[in-house]
Amino acid sequence: MIWDIVIIGAGPIGNFAGYLAGKKSLKVVILEEHDKIGEPIHCLGKLSFHAFEEYPLPKNSILSPLKGAYIYSPIGKEVKLKKNKVDSYILDRTKFDNDIGEMAEKAGAKFLFGTKAFGIEHFNGYSEIYFKEKGKINKLKAKIIIVAEGAKRQFLRSLGFPAKPHLVGLQYEISGIYLKDNECVELYFGEKYSKGFFAWISPLKGDLVKIGTAVLPGNNPKVYLENLILNLKERSSKFKILKEYGGIIPLYGPYEMYIYPNIIVLGDAGGFNKSTTGGGIYFGLKGAEIALNQAYKYLNNGNIKHLKEYEFLIKRAFGKELFFTGLIRRFLNKLNDKDLDEIWNIILENKEIIKKLEEKGDTAYQTTLLSIIPYIISKPKNTKVFRYLPQIIKSFLESI
Whether 149 is in a domain gets the answer yes
Task: Report whether the peptide linkage leading into residue 40 is cis, meaning its omega lies within 30 degrees of zero.
Answer: yes
Provide Rg for the chain, Cα atoms.
22
Residues 240, 261: one domain? no
Please check whether residue 69 lies inside any domain of the structure: no
Pick the closest to residue 247 from 281, 287, 215 (CA basis): 215
- Alpha-carbon distance of 272 to 187, in angstroms, equals 22
| pLDDT recorded at residue 398 | 85
CATH number (domain holding residue 179): 3.30.9.10
Conformation bin of residue 114: beta by default, left when phi > 0, alpha when psi is -120 to 50: left
- Domain total of the chain: 3
Whether residues 158 and 27 share a domain: the answer is yes
What integer pLDDT is reported at residue 40 of this predicted model? Answer: 81
**Could you tell me if 292 and 196 lie in one domain?**
no
φ, ψ at 318 (rounded to 5°): -150, 20
Integer Cα distance of 268 and 284 in angstroms = 7
Our measurement of the distance from residue 394's CA atom to the centroid of its chain's CA atoms, rounded to an integer in Å, reads 25
395 and 341 housed in the same domain: yes
User: Closest Cα to residue 63, out of 41, 79, 84, 81?
Assistant: 41
Q: Residue 195's pLDDT is what? A: 98
Q: Would you call 233 exposed, middle or buried from its count of C-beta atoms within 10 A (0-12, 13-18, 19+)? A: exposed
Q: Tell me which of 204, 219, 250 is where a domain ends.
A: 250
pLDDT value of position 387? 82
What is the pLDDT, as a whole number, of residue 171? 97
Evaluate whether residue 178 is within a structural domain: yes
Which pLDDT score is estimated for 389? 77
Classify residue 256: in a domain, yes or no.
Answer: yes
A 10 A CB-CB count for 400 gives 6
* pLDDT score for 9: 98
Asked if residue 138 belongs to a domain, the reply is yes
Residue 324 phi/psi, 5-degree rounding, is: -65, -45
Q: How many angstroms separate the first and last alpha carbons of the chain? A: 44
- Say whether both 222 and 314 belong to one domain: no
Strands across the sheet containing 78-82: 78-82, 68-72, 184-188, 199-205, 208-215, 166-175, 240-250
| The one-letter amino acid at 236 | S
Instruction: Let me know if residue 82 belongs to a domain.
Output: no
25 and 117 housed in the same domain? yes
**pLDDT computed for residue 320 by the predictor:** 98
Domain final position from 291, 319, 347: 319
pLDDT at 46: 95
Are residues 119 and 244 both part of a single domain?
Answer: no
Q: Closest Cα to residue 265, out of 284, 237, 242, 241?
A: 284
Q: Which regions of the chain are under pLDDT 50?
A: none
CB-based contact 128:121 (threshold 8 Å): yes
Whether residues 152 and 300 fall in one domain: yes
Alpha-carbon gap, residue 49 to 100, rounded angstroms: 17
Range of the domain at 342: 329-399
Same domain, 393 and 378: yes
The answer to whether residues 240 and 378 belong to one domain is no
Residues 6 and 153 in one domain: yes
Q: What is the structure's pLDDT at 41?
A: 79
The residues, any chain, with a CB within 8 Å of residue 342's CB and separated by 6 or more, are 384
Domain boundary among 209, 227, 250: 250
The pLDDT of residue 303 is 97
Is 380 part of any domain?
yes
- 256 shares a domain with 246: no
